[in-house]
A and B are shown apart, each in its own frame.
Chain A
Amino acid sequence: MFSAYWKLAEIAFKRQIVYRAANLAGMATNICWGFFRIYLLLAVLGSGKEIGGLDHDGIIIYAGFTQAIIAPLKIYGGWDLLRAIKSGEAISDFCKPIDFYSMWYARDCGQAAYQLIARGLPIMLLFLVVFKIQLKLSALKGLAFLISMSMALNISFSWRMIYNAIGFWVLDARGIAIMANAISEFLMGFTIPVSLFPEWLQQVVSLTPFSAILDIPLAILLDRPAGTEEVFLLLGRQLFWTIAMFITARLILRAGAKKVVIQGG
C-alpha cells in the first residue's frame, strides 16, 4: 500500500515541474514581499536591539522563512479539495479502495516537496546571502527543524482539508473558507511575528493549532529554545496539534463522505 502513496507523491511532484515559469513568477513575488516585510520590521526595530525577541538577523530569517513556506504550505489557500467536491471528483475518490486522507496527503507531500526544494530553499538562501546572515547549524537543530517542518506540513494539510470540507455542506463555501484561512494566516504569525502580538493575543494563538504551523519551526531556526529539553517541549506541543488536527480532519472528511455518497451529492 505504501508504494501506492509513494507513487501518488511522485506524480504530484513531477506535475509541478511543468509549471516552472509560473513558479519563477511566484518566486519573484515572494522575494519582493519578503523585502517589503524586512524593511517594515527593521523600521519598527529602529535603533533598538530587538522586537519580540527578534534582532536584525532574526527579522531577516523570519521574512525569508515566511516567504519560503508560502508555496509548500499553501499559506494563501489551497482549493483542490473544494474543486473536487464541486466537480464530483471527490465522490469517486471516496469510492476508491484507498484511504481518502492518505491519498490526498500523499499528493500534497509530493507538491510540497517540490515547492520546498525549487522555491522555498532558494528564497531562504537568497535572503540569507543578501543580508549576510550566518545561520548557526547543528545536527540536532537540523534534525529538530526537519521533524518540526514535517509536522507543520501535516497540520497545514489537515487545516486545508477542514476548511475545504465546508464545501460538502455549504453551496458556496469559498467565502467562509477564505475568511477562515485569512484569520489562520494572521494567527500563525505570517503577517507579523506572533512574538510581537500583545500578550492576550499570544495566549489566544497558543490555544489554536495555528501556533504550531509557523512559529515552532521558526523558533528552532532562531535558536529560541534554550536547551534540548525545550526543543522536546516545542516538538511535543506540535505533535499534540498534529494528532488533534489529523483526527479532526479525518472525522470531518468521513462526515462529508457520508453526506455525498449516501445522499448522492
Chain B
Amino acid sequence: MQYRTSFLLEVLANFCYAFIDLAATIILFTHTPALKGWNLAETALLLGMTNTSFALAELIGGGFDLFPQMIRQGGFDQVLVRPLGHFFQVMTSEFVLRRFGRLTQGLMVIAVALPRVFAWKTVFGMAALLLPVIAGGALFYLAIFIVQATVAIWTVESLEVFSIITNGGNEVLSHPLDIFHPVLRRFFTYILPMAFINYIPVAAIMGKPLTAAGVPPWIAWFSPLFGVGAFLLARRFWDYGVRHYQSTGS
C-alpha cells in the first residue's frame, strides 16, 4: 500500500513540476499581452505540445535512461545473449509510469488551449492535424534519449550535456521561438530541427509568419517526418554502438 501511495506521490510531483512551468508562463502573461505576437493561449498550446511529446518519449524510452546503469552492472551482456532484439529489450526495460504526471499536464494544457486558439468548429480538425505532429515530436525526443544512451557505451556515465537539449529544448519550445536569439533559432531549425516539434507546424496552421524560423510554410506539412528521421538515425547510431560494444569485448 505504501508503494502505491509513493507512486501516486511521484506522479503528483511530476505533475507539479510541469504545472509550475505553466504557472510561471501564466504569470508572465499578466505583464504583457503577447510575446512577439503570440498570446497566452497560443503559447500554452506550444507548451502543452512539447511537454506531451517529451512525456511520451520519457514514458516509452525510460529504459534508455537507465541504460548507463545497465552497462555498468553488466546487465547489457545478458540482453545481448537473449534472442529478442537488444533495442527492443532496452527500450522496454523500464516503463517510467511517473512520467504520466507530465503527460497529464501536457494533454490538459492542449485541451484548454486548443479551443482558445482555434474556432470551436475547427478544434477537432486541428487536433487531428496536430496528433501526428505530437507523435513526431515524441519520436524526436526519443531519438535524443537513444543517442544519449548510446554515447554511454563509450563514456560509461551519462553526459549531463544532453539535458541541455532535452530539458532545455523542452523549455525553449514551450515558448514562441521568436523571442530567442537568432543563433538559437537557427540551431533549433537547421542544426537540430526541434522547431518542427511544435513551433513551425503551429505557426503554419495559424498563418503566422515563419520569418523567425526562416523556412517556407509548406515545409510545415512534413513536420512529423523530422521526428521519424531523427528516430531512424538514432536507431542506426544505437546499432553502431552495440556493434562496437560487442567487438571490444566488454
Contact = CB atoms under 8 A, between A and B. Distances in A.
Nearest to B20: A186
Contacts, number: 98
Interface in B1-26: 2-3, 5-10, 12-13, 16-17, 20-21, 23-24
Interface string B172-195: 100100111100100000000000
Interface string A167-184: 000111011101100110
Contact of A198 (B8, B27, B175, B178): B27
B98 to A, nearest CB: 8
Interface string B122-138: 00000000000000000
B6 A29 contact: no
Given A175-B10, A176-B9, A29 B27 contact: no
A198 B27 CA distance: 7
Contacts of B81: none
Interface string A194-232: 001110010000000000000000000000000000000
Given A29-B163, A43-B179, A183 B2 contact: no
Interface residues of A, number: 37
A33 interface: yes
Nearest to A175: B9
Interface string A18-44: 000010011011001101100111111
A196 B28 contact: yes
B3 to A, nearest CB: 7
Nearest to B35: A43
Interface in B223-244: none
Contacts of A170: 6
A44 B32 contact: yes
SS class, residues of chain A in contact with chain B: helix
A25 B163 CA distance: 10
A52 B164 contact: no
Contact of B161 (A25, A40, A51): A25
B121 interface: no
Contacts of A43: 32, 35-36, 175, 178-179
Nearest to B181: A39
A196 B175 CA distance: 18
A176 B12 CA distance: 9
B159 interface: yes
B13 A26 contact: no
B82 interface: no
Q: 10 tightest A-B contacts by CB?
A: A175-B9, A172-B6, A43-B179, A179-B13, A175-B10, A25-B160, A178-B13, A191-B24, A192-B24, A39-B180
Interface of A: 22, 25-26, 28-29, 32-33, 35-36, 39-44, 46, 48, 51-52, 170-172, 174-176, 178-179, 182-183, 185-186, 191-192, 196-198, 201
6 contacts: A29-B164, A43-B36, A170-B6, A172-B5, A192-B28, A198-B30
